[in-house]
Chain A
């Protein structure tokens, strides 16, 4: 598929996500007027709010308006706060970016190290121990793992703060202790799949014909590993890394809620709860575009890492 065609598919994917998110949010019971008016509002109050927020207009008209604005770089205005959605996105992006970048900075070298150590000694004690720990961590949901760590390290030991309450954005970086547990939970959850992918790749590539051939030609093991085994082993892992980023975007929603981090994930949840369609669309667009872009980059990186003729089937 040509690059232009891939790009077109990516744009179509994002458009499909936006249409699906809009439809699903629109069919949820209730609307922003009900949420704003609160538990004890009269029908009259809800109707007045609905008119003011233009919620009485057909849903497809509002969607088309929002899409039209997007083409001019306008993300729309939040129904709940009346402020531009772009400003809300800008507020949350720092927290989520910080969490994601820190997690990836730790996950990638850890997964490579664990995957290689296991893959090169397949079936050994080290392999079994590392795999068991990774699977164990992967099998505990983020919420439960977070609570367990909070109970032990924050409540009992008093080593770390339990939440980031009151902090936001880049100011979190000034109190790095509040990020330790959220990042640890995200790393634990994402490490397993990536490390296992590297392990499988390394195990297969070590025994592949081209590696055997290279050894027969007398190349030192270190060169075989660096030039032939690793690139082939890492290629599927690069695509797994893209999926890791997808998983991270889901994980931050849980982690942000548990540690009271005001990022895109918790703001997205707030927007859905408030049925704030323009804001929901804004967050969905950021999440969808990030996912599609990361997957595109992963494809490109995988192609560059290994020429087609040497790829493992």
Chain B
């Protein structure tokens, strides 16, 4: 399979749109515009009529964006995924790392009630319940809710069953929003975010209006409308024609087109998404460390970045979290070494290795990367057959079946990533079957260590281990691209999950 043949329909047609747009010499006037009535219109892919405004079960980016408008979290993540104050103004663990004292700011819910420590306890308890099925649940299962208590309206004590000096990073996770105590219904939810709900039509449109009582000051726009446009090409054309001001998640190809147009621009967050291949090391052929090593050395990461990501991204070094706090920058870049890879394959008696590489259209870069990896490893005599799986259940499918598959992860605090994907006993998205007592011990020691620089050293050691052994080939980091209208001001390029991504309260039109 050649690289050219792997061009997806969407990519080809995206180019067709770009070509069509460039045919006419005179720029258009913007069609039936998004309006200049101080309502920002933002286009997102949505989950159809199954959408919910329950922030604790949010799984799509539109859910996160709406949750950010309607609710608040105790902390937010800056661009390096460090926790910064939001509803919590300060926090400190005791010397054992099991007892956290959190002080809340004076904030109000949309109905005028104050946000109190009891609301935080209620929210976290609800998230930790299995029945809620919250993606943030793993962060709160170690909280002892019988021992945790509200010291006063604005002081909260959270008690953990095991020490964790990185616990504060859990409070900014998607799905960890604070709701008023006793909330069970979410058709017209009340939050403490910068906007309050005006209307909600699942799968079509959600309108929020500004909340003048917001603790950080009233937002700039009077209203924000989240509209559902699932097709990426349709989001781009809606933006180009002036129907919307913001188009979330556009491909590198469309981003180039939006850059060229005067009426539009792109917010490109670097290191937005880790692009990787997970090799299952608990089964043949990658249970042989020599075969795994050969594959890691056989791949040309620079070519993958240049071709699959059209150069719009960063080079990977087989570790998650480039650019984030605790990332070990000092490690040398892993480069292709064909001779060494061949000799490792010979040693392992795997010169005629063949395997299927799972891939899917769930991410715009997976399929072209799979073709290129097949070509690169083909030069070593390895026969790789890309196998395209259905998007909807792709990640669940590759967790249980196959020997290798493309995977990706948006920005998360590094300790969170390691705890969820690499720590033994964690059963979330451990796509490689990695289990290591050595890693677990280093990671647990890091969480128990109060001194931050010592903690950073331990986490760097733990990451050195997984770089060689865990079966993750991190070949790059794709930019997270958001298309915006030139009218829209005050938005910042930020990776998803971080505080400034899809933050409309500071935005304005003009």
Contact = CB atoms under 8 A, between A and B. Distances in A.
B134 to A, nearest CB: 8
A158 B28 contact: yes
Contacts of A31: 393
Contact of B243 (A38, A42, A46, A161): A161
B24 A165 contact: no
Given A260-B228, A273-B392, A156 B24 contact: yes
Contact of A41 (B18, B135, B202, B227): B135
A38 B392 contact: no
Contacts of A202: none
B138 interface: yes
A78 to B, nearest CB: 7
Interface stretch (A122-130, A143-151, A235-243, A301-309): A143-151
A48 interface: yes
B49 A267 contact: yes
Contacts of B243: 161-163, 165
B330 interface: no
Interface residues of A, number: 61
Contacts of A162: 31, 234, 237-238, 240-241, 243
Q: Which of B24, B204, B420, B428 neighbours the largest number of chain A CB atoms within 10 Å of its CB? A: B204
Contacts of A42: 137-138, 427-428
Nearest to A273: B392
Interface residues of B, number: 63
A157 B28 contact: yes
A49 B23 contact: no
Contacts of A275: 392-393
A81 B49 contact: yes
A48 B130 contact: yes
B50 A165 contact: no
A309 to B, nearest CB: 50
Given A151-B17, A156-B21, A165-B244, A39 B395 contact: yes
B230 A260 contact: yes
A258 interface: yes
Nearest to B50: A80
Nearest to B390: A29
B130 A44 contact: yes
A37 B240 contact: no
B228 A262 contact: yes
Interface in A208-243: none
A35 B138 contact: no
A156 B23 contact: yes
B201 A48 contact: no
B138 A163 contact: no
A30 B229 contact: no
A36 B238 CA distance: 28
Given A30-B396, A150-B241, A162-B234, A48 B131 contact: yes
Given A41-B133, A45-B133, A150-B241, A156 B26 contact: yes
Closest 4 CB pairs of A and B: A30-B393, A151-B20, A38-B59, A158-B28
Given A80-B49, A150-B241, A161-B32, 20 more contacts: A28-B393, A36-B50, A38-B59, A40-B59, A40-B428, A41-B135, A41-B428, A44-B130, A48-B133, A78-B50, A148-B20, A151-B19, A156-B20, A158-B242, A166-B204, A257-B234, A260-B228, A266-B230, A270-B49, A275-B393
29 contacts: A28-B393, A34-B393, A36-B50, A36-B133, A39-B429, A40-B135, A41-B133, A44-B427, A45-B137, A46-B396, A80-B49, A81-B50, A147-B13, A150-B17, A151-B18, A151-B23, A155-B17, A156-B24, A156-B27, A158-B28, A158-B242, A159-B31, A160-B31, A163-B238, A175-B32, A258-B233, A270-B48, A274-B47, A274-B392
